[in-house]
Amino acid sequence: MDGQLTDRELDALVSLLDDSDQEIKAHVRGKIISLGNEVIPFLENKWESSFNPEVQKEIEELVHELQINLLHQRLAHWKNSEERELLEGLWIINTYLYPELEYEQLNATMQQIYFQVWTNYKNELSVYDKIKLINNVLFNDLKFSANTKNFHSPGNSMIKTVLETRKGNPISLCSVYLLVAGKLGLPIYGVNLPNLFVLTYKSGKFNFYINAFNKGLIFTRQDINNYLEHLKMDPQPAFYEPCETIDIIQRMLRNLVFAFDKIGEVDKSKEIKKLLTILSED
């Protein structure tokens, strides 16, 4: 905060947060927000030392607004980057509920998972044996599984929670699978099926599908046809072909909107919809 405001000046600003004059309060809030995220540790200290519930509430709202602003910046930057790296996108979503979470923490956990697959991996294995090996490590050794009990929990769309609990929804389990497959250089991609996110192995004569929500079960194009028939839906190219990373992040966010709506967290749902807007803006 060098060159911005001294601690004494910040103290004076924070003390005005419970001013009865709404105009003064609005001006103070605007000034603090303009200082950016560097001011958060100072605000958190002020929260701890304050005995005024009104000021504490104001500080909580300010910190949340600053964190959301940072999330918006990161997401817009990710969207405009050439790489649109999957783990980075997932991490940015995670900072909505876990603003302190560092990308490096997630990356380190994913490296450990990848290492466990890699130590058993041999390039000379057949395509199907490679898939069996990944399935065995992820779903038998590491015990990743479908969170059928709390299917609509917001935690299922938080990769941090999924890596800790080893439980997730179709898209979060597929994301773990994709990250491992990507490190191994395998041609595996996400596929946006209605009500179910799956994976496809697509290279040369090999073209099949993988259901990470069902322990990596391999299935065919005909199975997708049957599934769509059961849903009374017409086939569309997007139901068979690889999707982009941005599609994965958008679907993850839509799941979060649904999850927050389901538990009555209307404000959170609105904030997530705003993130979806950032991704759909040209």
pLDDT tens digits for range 46-102: 999 988 898 899 999 999 999 999 999 999 999 999 999 999 999 999 999 999 999
Separation of alpha carbons 76 and 206, rounded Å: 36
Name the residue among 59, 115, 93 with its Cα closest to residue 161: 93
Residues 6+ away with beta carbon under 8 Å from 276: 250, 253, 254, 257
Q: Which two tokens stand for residue 217?
A: 């079960």
pLDDT digits (tens, 9 = 90+) for 208-224: 999 999 999 999 999 99
End-to-end alpha carbon distance in the chain:
34
Q: Which two tokens stand for residue 119?
A: 């130590």
For the chain, percent of residues with pLDDT exceeding 90: 84
Q: Pseudo-torsion of CA 234, 237, 243, 249, nearest 10°?
A: -30
pLDDT digits (tens, 9 = 90+) for 150-177: 888 999 999 999 999 999 999 999 999 9
Annotated domain spans of the chain:
7-80, 86-280
What pLDDT is attached to residue 3?
A: 47
- Average pLDDT taken over every residue of the chain: 94
What pLDDT is attached to residue 1?
A: 43
What pLDDT is attached to residue 150?
A: 87
What's this model's pTM, rounded to 2 decimal places?
Answer: 0.91
Residue 231 pLDDT more than 60?
A: yes
The backbone torsions φ and ψ at residue 236, rounded to the nearest 5 degrees and listed phi first, read -135, 150
Distances (CA, A) of 36 to 70, 269, 282: 8, 24, 26
What pLDDT is attached to residue 2?
A: 43
Alpha helices in the chain (DSSP H): 7-15, 22-34, 40-49, 53-80, 86-94, 103-118, 127-135, 159-165, 170-183, 221-230, 245-262, 266-280
Separation of alpha carbons 115 and 117, rounded Å: 5
Separation of alpha carbons 98 and 75, rounded Å: 15
